[in-house]
Each structure stands twice: as structure tokens, then as C-alpha cells.
């Protein structure tokens, strides 16, 4: 644990708190890394530290460097930000319009429900632009947080680009994404990019046991499977069935890669009868899988989301070039967008089933 009460990411905490203390805040930060690594947690904590009413200094640092600060966690801004309801820290994510004045949703930091769509849309970014062009309501800085921005439509990404090119004063934009590779390069180049790495297995195990009360053996297993992605391990620890289900789904996906067209179509047809939320979950998992294959085939060196299956991923990457892995990611994203628009579910899934890379 470090000075921001976050497990791991010490270097990022240090960098961010020194930027703030030294008056060097950037206009935009991108927190990148596989799902469950702690991007959202770190972004929220940073927003707290920026707007805390009684921050305290961190231990002294080498001469010439500004000392970092930590948030109190108890003042009004800290409390509201933690709940996702601070008017100057709007949280924008898939399908849920974020408004500083709307009280429809006290916390916008939750997953949208089926039917609302799941990618950040152009209108959401335009709304946000209007908000950030005004002075903050009560805080020093407006700190909009845009989550899972890799799922944003291209239109939404382009809209944000305009704001990033001419950032209003007193605005710090925080983005999270599974990988900078999944965003427009022009977006990435205008952000300070923090590529988050998994924590050590030992630290993840310790945090699971001490902070979450997960029993020894299970904490060990989850820490290993997570590859040090604590958020992922915590989610899995909360629901015994989730892990089994995830394993089953990955096995099925692997089967499909080698399966003939007929079997793929049959799977798509069966899947179309499942609840939408389940389909979205499956698409998310598939995204992490092809992203891993892309990382392995382009030797990117970034951490894998499915760390327990590294050997299989590397084996696939030897046979599937980066372009095909990228095309698979694009196909899955397009399918998600089509489902958002209430396209025929069965048709969309059948198209996807045929689009996924095949191995003979």
C-alpha cells in the first residue's frame, strides 16, 4: 500500500502527486492497462487529491523536488468524489449521460443497464464540453473522468480531441482505457499516459486477505489467476460462480476459433437467446482475449488480461498476425455498437461469429 491508500502503482502516485504539488498539472491524463488493474480507482483518487479541502503533505522528498500530497478522504469534495456525485467531477461512461446538474443518478460510476448502449457517444462528449467551458461550481478544478474510453465511438473520440487541442483553464481531463493502442493516436499524444502495471502476486494476495478477508488458499489462487490485477481478483472473490463462468466462456471461445462455420452459427444462434447483459459480458471477455493476442503478436510487452492463459495466447499469436487480431477487436466493438442501436441480435452475433479469426 502506498501514500494514497492504493495497492501498487507507487510510481504513478508519486508522479501525479508531484505534478500537483509542483503546479505542473497536465490538461489530460490517460490511465491505461488491462481491466481490473485499478485505473478507475487511481483516477478517482487523483480527482480527490486535486480538489481536497485539507490535503496533507507526504513525507519529505529529495531536495529540489516538491513534496506530494494526499487527500483527507473526509471533506465534502473527497466524500462526493468517492460517491461519484461531485458536480465538478462528472464521470462519463458507456451510455449514461453525465450531467453536473442531473440528480437522476446519484452515482454514475456504475455499469449502464441493458438497452442504454455501452459506448460513450458523441452527445455525451459534447455535453461534457459545454460543462467544462464554464468555471468550476465549487472546486478548484473541474476533473471530468471518462471511463473505458476505448469503447467510445470514433465520433466521440474526435469530439474530445477538440477539447484536448484547446483545453479550457482549470480543467484536468482523466481518461481510462484498456490500452492506448485502442484509442486514436491523436488523443493519446495529447495526454500524459500512465501505463499501469499489475502489482506483484504476493501483494495482490496480501491485499485480498487483509482488505477483503479472502481465505488463504483462495486468495493465493485468485492472485495468481489475476496476474496481479487486484480489481479483477476482488470481483472474482465476491462471486464464486464468476470465475467458473469466465473459464467456461474462454474454453468455448477457443473451441470456436477452431470450429467450422456451421458450429459458429449455431453458437451465435444460441447466444442470441441469452439476456443482453450476458452478451455484453461475453463481448467484453472476448475483447480482452483478442487484445491479449494482439499484444502478444506485436510483442508490445504490456501486461495481459488473461494472465493464466499466457501459453495459449502466445501460441495463437504465432499463428494470427496483429492485423487479424486488430480486426477481431474492431469486429467485437462494432457488434457491441450494433447491439446498442438495437440491431437484430442474432444477425449481429452471426456476423461476428463469421468475422472472428479461424484456425484450421
| Using rule CB under 5 A, residue 52 touches Zn ion | yes
| Binding window for Zn ion (CB under 5 A); candidates: 28-36, 71-79, 299-307, 315-323 | 71-79
Shortest gap between Cβ of 161 and Zn ion (angstroms)?
A: 32
SS3 at position 15: helix
Please give the Cα distance from 44 to 58 (Å, whole number). Answer: 18
CA 219 to chain centre: 23
DSSP per-residue string spanning 314-333: HHHHHHS-HHHHHHHHHHHH
- DSSP character for 189? T
Distance of CA 148 to the CA centre of its chain: 4
Closest approach, Cβ 74 to Zn ion, in A, equals 6
Part of the chain binding Zn ion (CB under 5 A), chosen from 69-77, 106-114, 175-183, 324-332: 69-77
- Residue 80 or 188: the one with the smaller Cβ distance to Zn ion is 80
Whose Cβ is closer to Zn ion: residue 44's or residue 52's?
52
Q: In terms of CB distance, is 47 or 175 closer to Zn ion?
A: 47
**Near Zn ion by CB under 5 A, which window of 76-84, 86-94, 132-140, 261-269?**
76-84
Name the residue among 3, 142, 7, 143 with its Cα closest to residue 68: 3
Our finding on whether 57 is near Zn ion (CB under 5 A) is no
Can residue 72 be called a binding residue for Zn ion (CB under 5 A)? yes
Q: According to the binding rule CB under 5 A, does residue 78 interact with Zn ion?
A: yes
Contact 305, 231 (CB under 8 A): no
Comparing CB distances to Zn ion, the nearer of 51 and 119 is 51
- Residue number, 74 or 239, with CB nearest to Zn ion: 74
Tell me how far, at minimum, the Cβ of 81 lies from Zn ion, in Å: 9
- Tell me which residues in 166-205 interact with Zn ion (CB under 5 A): none
Give the binding range for Zn ion (CB under 5 A) out of 26-34, 52-60, 106-114, 304-312: 52-60
Q: Report how far residue 6's alpha carbon sits from residue 40's, in angstroms, rounded to the nearest whole number.
A: 11
Instruction: Kindly report the number of other CB atoms within 10 A of residue 353's CB atom.
Output: 21
C-alpha gyration radius of the chain: 21
Question: How does strand 56-57 pair with strand 69-70?
Answer: antiparallel
Interacting positions 218-237 with Zn ion (CB under 5 A): none
**Closest distance of CB 224 from Zn ion, Å:** 36
Among 15, 61, 66, 75, binds Zn ion (CB under 5 A): 75
Question: Quick check: 286 and 355 in contact, CB under 8 A?
Answer: no
Interatomic CA distance for residues 277 and 297, integer angstroms:
30
- List contacts with Zn ion (CB under 5 A): 52, 71-72, 75, 78
Amino acid at each position: 500500500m502506498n501514500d494514497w491508500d492504493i495497492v501498487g502503482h507507487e510510481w504513478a502516485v508519486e508522479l501525479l502527486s508531484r505534478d500537483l504539488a509542483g503546479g505542473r498539472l497536465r490538461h489530460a491524463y490517460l490511465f491505461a492497462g488491462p481491466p481490473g488493474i485499478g485505473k478507475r480507482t487511481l483516477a478517482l483518487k487523483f480527482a480527490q487529491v486535486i480538489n481536497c479541502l485539507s490535503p496533507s503533505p507526504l513525507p519529505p522528498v529529495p531536495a529540489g523536488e516538491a513534496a506530494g500530497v494526499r487527500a483527507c478522504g473526509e471533506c465534502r469534495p473527497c466524500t462526493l468524489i468517492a460517491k461519484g456525485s461531485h458536480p465538478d467531477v462528472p464521470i462519463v461512461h458507456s451510455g449514461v449521460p453525465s450531467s453536473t446538474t442531473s440528480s437522476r443518478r446519484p452515482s454514475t460510476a456504475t455499469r449502464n443497464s441493458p438497452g442504454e448502449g455501452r459506448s460513450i457517444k458523441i452527445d455525451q462528449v459534447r455535453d461534457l464540453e459545454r460543462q467544462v467551458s464554464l468555471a468550476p461550481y465549487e472546486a478548484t478544478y473541474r476533473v471530468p473522468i471518462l471511463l473505458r474510453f476505448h469503447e467510445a465511438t470514433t465520433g466521440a473520440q474526435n469530439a474530445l480531441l477538440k477539447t484536448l487541442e484547446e483545453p479550457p483553464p482549470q480543467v484536468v481531463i482523466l481518461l481510462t482505457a484498456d490500452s492506448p493502442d485502442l484509442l486514436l493516436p491523436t488523443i493519446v499524444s495529447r495526454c500524459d499516459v500512465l501505463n499501469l502495471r499489475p502489482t506483484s502476486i504476493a501483494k495482490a494476495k496480501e491485499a485480498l486477505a487483509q482488505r477483503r478477508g479472502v481465505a488463504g488458499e483462495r486468495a493465493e489462487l485468485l492472485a495468481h489467476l489475476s496476474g496481479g490485477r487486484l480489481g479483477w481478483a476482488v470481483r472474482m472473490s465476491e462471486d464464486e460462480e464468476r470465475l467458473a463462468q469466465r473459464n467456461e466462456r474462454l474454453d468455448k471461445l477457443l473451441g470456436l476459433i477452431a470450429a467450422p462455420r456451421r458450429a459458429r452459427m449455431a453458437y451465435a444462434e444460441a447466444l442470441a437467446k441469452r439476456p443482453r447483459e450476458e452478451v455484453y459480458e461475453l463481448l467484453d471477455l472476448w475483447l480482452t482475449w483478442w487484445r491479449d493476442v494482439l499484444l502478444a503478436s506485436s510483442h508490445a510487452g504490456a501486461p495481459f488480461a488473461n494472465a493464466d492463459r499466457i501459453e495459449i495466447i502466445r501460441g495463437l499469436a504465432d499463428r494470427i498476425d496483429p492485423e487479424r487480431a486488430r480486426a477481431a477487436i474492431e469486429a467485437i466493438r462494432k457488434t457491441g455498437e450494433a447491439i446498442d442501436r438495437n440491431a437484430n441480435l442474432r444477425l449481429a452475433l452471426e456476423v461476428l461469429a463469421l468475422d472472428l479469426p479461424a484456425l484450421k
